[in-house]
Each structure stands twice: as structure tokens, then as C-alpha cells.
Amino acid sequence: MSKYNTMDIWKAGIYMTKRKLIATDLFKLHSITNPVLAPSGKEAVFIRTIMHELDNKYYTYLHHVNLETKAVSQWTYTKEIISCPQWSNDGKSIAFLSNREEKNQLFLMSSDGGEAKKLTDLENGVSSFVWSPCSEKIWISALLKEGKTWSEKADKKEIKLPEVYVVDQMKYHMDGTGLLPKDTYKQIGWIDLNTEEIVPFKVGNYHYNLETISHDGKKLVIGVNREENQDFSFREPLLLVDVETKVETVIVDEEGYFGGVAFSKDDQYLAFVGSPCTFQNATHSEVYIYELGTGIRQSLTEGIDAPVGDYVAADFQQGGRAPSVVWTESNHLYFQLSTMGDVRLYFASLEGELYPATGEYEHVYGYDVDASGIFALVTISTSIFPGELFCQNLATGERTALTNFNETFIKDVELVEPEVVVYKGAKDWDVYGWLMKPVGYEEGQKYPLVVEIHGGPHTMYANTFSHEFQLLAAEGYGVLYVNPRGSHGYSQAFVDAVRGDYGGGDYEDIMAGLEYVVKENDWIDETRLGVTGGSYGGFMTNWIVGHTNRFKAAVTQRSISNWVSFYGVSDVGYYLTPWQIGADMTDIDKLWNASPLKYAANIDTPLLILHSENDYRCPIEQGQQLYITLKAMGKETSFVRFPEASHNLSRTGLPNLRIERLKQITGWFKKYI
């Protein structure tokens, strides 16, 4: 346990001669996530993730904390990725998913200690699971080939010849997965822990998603879309299923996302998070309540003009999975809300009470709440605090630090706390952001500035730790990062305003922020400016250098350069393009006018193009087109391809490639700025 009683370890008088942060400090950081309370409320488990430099892999370890003594102990030591730890209802066992044998399989560990036991050996692994309240069986969902049973084992000695892949639907590939398996469906069953036999429950040629089970064990909630053609279907109806009769009751069936379901402790209500398609993928998520006795459904958060959930764009936390909602015994609820650059834990009652349970200027990226509602476990990060686990009294707000894994890093490394900036953007709307001074800043000196642009566009920069931003500051740059229109956390009108206006008001917001900080801060050398961003941020970087020569160097990452080709090659292109740009292939002119490639002749800024070879979201041809076009025009450019990397290179890519990416960015700015 840390000797400090608050998260402000960096304020605890432990200043020494500190060094500058470097790219490989990623290997010294610990990501603390997934706190899960035991039914007794007296103990909990959580996950610690590290990047291993020599093995070039991520490893996670299950840890236990005794909440009475505050003692923390490590429970697993195998080199693996662990996820989704869950306690049995009797508190005697922990189940979790592990990839220690490549595919995610279900493992069981006694809460008294000892080695974990593998419960499944399925060809495609286990997708998700939930304990039965009796603690004698576990419900699972797993991919199953049509015509196969879970008892059939794959012949590992069989020589598999390459097979053609016949495409007959539009949703056939996915970033991070590749080609989706053919004739394979997610099915639901349960494991008898006495016999370890898997009993099928929901099978057939549909994907069944397992949501939750009632506390009496009599009702399941599942998600399934049984439409024959789902190319333009963006729904997954939630169904309440009687375990004994299998009779189904529809909870919600409409376009949009609905999930994260939880039963109230008395099984009278369901709570879940959902976002209809009112503004397509820019629609705010809300907390919904469904009363089982009456079938009445209502939004609990419709009075809040901010999205439920965590929409932070950052590069450090690994594998964090926070629950959508958590009930207490008093039928009160807790959930995350992204608002004004924070992610805060919120309280709600069925009578309409609604207020924040945690403070401002921080990122609550994980949590669990005791059934009594007296305290919560929270994992928290700030701009100069990578993140640890805390116990918070929900009545007083008092916190106790339970872990201190990153204490040495904080003691050793000089970090820069950004200042909040607020200025007027397009349409005279307020735009919020942050400005970091370079490490070693001295009054009266001039310094270069790098503008960072997040992806999405419907995510947000936040009061959270960013290794990349701190690295740029350590390299001697000021860093400006803002939330232009399209960003979450401010209002529904604000997040929706970018749709149909890419390169319009969003571009004005970013450039207005630059001009504002240049005017207000005489330390910024406006002749030495850089800009970078990924995904939507890559699109905007491309757009910026095609519309202004304000920047001396630029780095575009996993970008979009051509909406015409993006429509057909991206895993989401055929529907995201009309959602975001407002046109499809029947209006080529509109797509081309919104494409940065059209303005390549105007680009005079030296442009580094970074792209992952296995990026299915913004395929590498987007970077290729831009590079070849610029090179043919004699422009200053370079193209770096990252093998074995997907769209999420900067967050979950191979460790050596993440380090190389940072070196490429800082090297380009050093060369041209």
C-alpha cells in the first residue's frame, strides 16, 4: 500500500533531481485496471499490465487486495493476457479469460490461492462469460462453426491448406480481426463445474451475445440480430430469456447500440446503456431503466447533455473494461460520464436524483461499487499521474491509495502539467483544450509548438496521462491539444456539428486555438510549428497542410486521404462515409471535395506519413495514395509502413513498433522544426 492517502503522490514532497521522459519509459509504466469487488465487499481483484521489452509483448497479472488490511498480493505469474475477472457469488472462486494458450480460454482459481485451472479448450476460445448465482456453473458465449459442437476438438496435427474466401456480405472484415470467420456463430451455453461439460442453450445461425443473469438465476439477458441481411442493419435487440422455458421478451429493438445490462439487486429492474441512431454514431449514450413487472423503459439521464461512458483518447491504459452500470442494494446506480474533459463517476436514483460522485480534472477509467453504496474502488489518472487504484468513501469523497506501482516513475521523471485553455471557435462557440510548456521551460525563451489532433472524431482529449504528449514536452516542444467540434463531452449539438462539415468548423476550431495560444503566450515561436494526429486526426492533419502553410512540419498517422476509395476499402467505409460526410458513391464530387488528396498540390509542408499494414479501419492505401501523389509532385515527404500492426498501433501495437513510431514522430519534428 502507498503511504500517501490521496492520488496526489506527485505533491507529496518527494521531488528530487528528475530526468526527462523518454520513449522507452513505456516499459517502466504499469497499467492498473479492472477493479472487481468480492461479494463480501472486504476484498477485490484487479489487473496490472506491463509492456515487456525483451519479449516484445504485453503481460497482465491478476492481483488481490484485502480492503481491511490494505495488503496487495500478486495472484498470477504466467506470461499471458488476463481479462474479465469475476467472483463467484459465494466468494470462493475467481474466473477469468486468459490467452496463455493463444486463444482466450476460461480459467478458474480458488480465492484461497493456488494455480488456476483451465475449464475450456475451445477451438475459437471463449468470447465472454458470467457466473450463475448458484456458483456451480458458468454461462459462456463462444464462436462455434456451423454444424459443430463444443465437445468436438480441432485436429491440431491436420495440415490446413489455404482456402478461398467467398464474400457475400458487406460486413466481412474488421480492424484487429481481419477476415471474419465464415459460417461461424457466437453461441451461448453453460459449464457444469462438477462435470466440466458444456451444455448448449442458444445455438443456430445467429450471433448470440451474453449480457447478464438475474440474481435468482431464472432470467438471462442476451443480444441477437436475426435479420437475414444485416449489411445496413445497425441493431442488436436485447431479449429477456426465461432460463427454463427459453421464452423471450423484447427489452429494446431499435437501430443503435444497447448493452452493458445489469439486474438490480432485487431483480425488479434492468439498467443498460444505449445510444439510438438519432445522430448516427455521434448520438449521446444514455442510461436506460427497464421495469420487469410493467415492461416500461425510460432514460434515466436524458436531462444530462453529455454522453454516458468513457470516450477518452489516450495512449497508456491497457485492457481497461469498466462496467456500464453498477447497482447498489438501495436500487441506486453508478456509471461513468464524459464531461468537459473529465470522466467522472455519477450517482443516480430511480426517483431522479443525479449528481457526480467524483471530482473534476481527472479520468476515472475503471470502478466498482460496494453493494452497500458506502464506498467504491476507482482507478484514476490525471495529466501528470499515470493511474492507480483507490478506495473512495462515496459520502465524504475521502480516498485511500491502494496501489503505488508507478510511484518510482513519478519520483524519477519530470512531467508537465498542462493549463486549460478556452477560446472562441467557429460560430463563436466555446472550445476547450490544454497547453503544455516544454520541460525545462525558462521565462523569456522561445520554444516550438506541436498541435495534436485526436481521432474519432467522436472521442475527446481529457485530464488523463498521455505518454506521447509528455515525450514531446521532454523533447523541448510545447504541446497544444484541443477538443474541436465533433468531440464528445460538451453537448449533443457540439459532437454532431462535424458531420457533413469535415474540414469546415472543425478546421476553424483547431486553427483558432492555435492563434489564441500564440497570441496569449509569447514563449511560442510561431515560426516553428508542427501538427500531427491519427485516424480522423490524420485526416485533419492532411487537410490542414493542404489549406495552410502555417506549419513547418507535419506527421499524419493512420489517416484518410481519399473518401472515394475509403468508401469501398474500409471495414466501416460504406456506412461511415455517408454518416460523416453526407454522401455515398452516387455523389463523387462531394466525396472528392472533402478529400485531402484533392488539395495535394497545395501541400508545401514536409509531411511524414505513418501507416499500419494491417489497418482495416483506414487501410494503408490511404497513406499510399497520398505518398505517391506528393512524391510525384516533388514534395518533401516520407512514408513509413508498420508490419503486423492494425489501426490501434499507438495504443495496443507491438511494443517495439510503438517505440519506433514515437521515434519517427520526434525525429521528423527535430529535422524540420
pLDDT value at 523 more than 50? yes
Contacts 24+ apart (CB under 8 A), 269-276: 269/331, 269/350, 270/221, 270/240, 271/300, 271/324, 271/325, 271/327, 271/333, 272/211, 272/238, 272/324, 272/325, 273/308, 273/309, 273/324, 273/325, 273/335, 275/307
As a whole number of angstroms, the distance between CA 398 and CA 394 comes to: 8
pTM of the model: 0.95
128 is catalytic: no
Question: 331 burial class (0-12, 13-18, 19+ CB within 10 angstroms)?
Answer: middle
Question: 91 burial class (0-12, 13-18, 19+ CB within 10 angstroms)?
Answer: middle
Q: Which three cell numbers stand for residue 56?
A: 516484445
Per 3-state DSSP, the chain is made up of helix, strand and coil in percentages (nearest 5) of: 20, 35, 45
As a whole number of angstroms, the distance between CA 58 and CA 345 comes to: 28
The 8-class DSSP code of residue 248 comes to: E
Q: Which three cell numbers stand for residue 659?
A: 517505440
Catalytic residue among 64, 207, 332, 647: 647
Q: 381-404, pLDDT tens digit by residue? A: 999 999 999 999 999 999 999 999
Look at residue 493 and give its three-state secondary structure. Answer: helix
Q: 165-204, pLDDT tens digit by residue? A: 999 999 999 999 999 999 999 999 999 999 999 999 988 8
- Going from the C-alpha of 591 to that of each of 509, 560, 573, 606, the distances in angstroms are 22, 12, 12, 25
How much of the chain, in percent, has pLDDT values that exceed 90?
A: 93
64 is catalytic: no
Q: Which three cell numbers stand for residue 281?
A: 454514431
Confidence at 12, pLDDT banded by 50, 70, 90: very low
Mean pLDDT (whole number) for 243-254:
97
Report the chain's C-alpha Rg in angstroms: 25
The 8-class DSSP code of residue 427 comes to: G
Question: 63 burial class (0-12, 13-18, 19+ CB within 10 angstroms)?
Answer: buried
Q: Which three cell numbers stand for residue 410?
A: 513519478
Q: Which residue has the cell 438475474?
A: 214
Mean pLDDT (whole number) for 100-118:
92
Cβ atoms of residues 553 and 672 within 8 Å = yes
Look at residue 291 and give its three-state secondary structure. Answer: strand
Q: 610-668, pLDDT tens digit by residue? A: 999 999 999 999 999 999 999 999 999 999 999 999 999 999 999 999 999 999 999 99
Q: Which three cell numbers stand for residue 662?
A: 514515437
Catalytic residue among 383, 535, 559, 565: 535
Q: 554-592, pLDDT tens digit by residue? A: 999 999 999 999 999 999 999 999 999 999 999 999 999
Angle at 273 between CA 269 and CA 279, to 5 degrees: 135
> How many C-beta neighbours within 10 Å does residue 128 have?
18
Comparing C-alpha atoms, which of 560, 342, 344 is closest to residue 334? 344
SS (H, E, C) 62-121: EEEEECCCCCEEECCCCCCCEEEEEECCCCCEEEEEEEEECEEEEEEEECCCCCCEECCC
Lowest mean pLDDT: which of 1-10, 445-454, 643-652? 1-10
The 8-class DSSP code of residue 183 comes to: T
Mean pLDDT (whole number) for 276-291:
97
**Which secondary structure element, helix H or strand E, spans residue 342, and what is its range?**
strand 342-349
Beta-sheet strands, E only, within 161-206: 173-174, 178-179, 184-192, 198-202
Q: Which residue has the cell 508490419?
A: 643
Question: 195 burial class (0-12, 13-18, 19+ CB within 10 angstroms)?
Answer: exposed
Q: 388-447, pLDDT tens digit by residue? A: 999 999 999 999 999 999 999 999 999 999 999 999 999 999 999 999 999 999 999 999
| Beta-bridge partner residues of 212 | 221
The structural domains of the chain, ordered by start, are: 9-151+174-410 (2.130.10.120), 416-672 (3.40.50.1820)
Look at residue 337 and give its three-state secondary structure. Answer: strand
Comparing C-alpha atoms, which of 62, 488, 66 is closest to residue 307? 488
Q: 197-213, pLDDT tens digit by residue? A: 999 998 889 999 999 99
Confidence at 13, pLDDT banded by 50, 70, 90: very low
Cβ atoms of residues 243 and 210 within 8 Å = no
As a whole number of angstroms, the distance between CA 26 and CA 50 comes to: 8
**Which secondary structure element, helix H or strand E, spans residue 347, and what is its range?**
strand 342-349
Cβ atoms of residues 348 and 302 within 8 Å = no
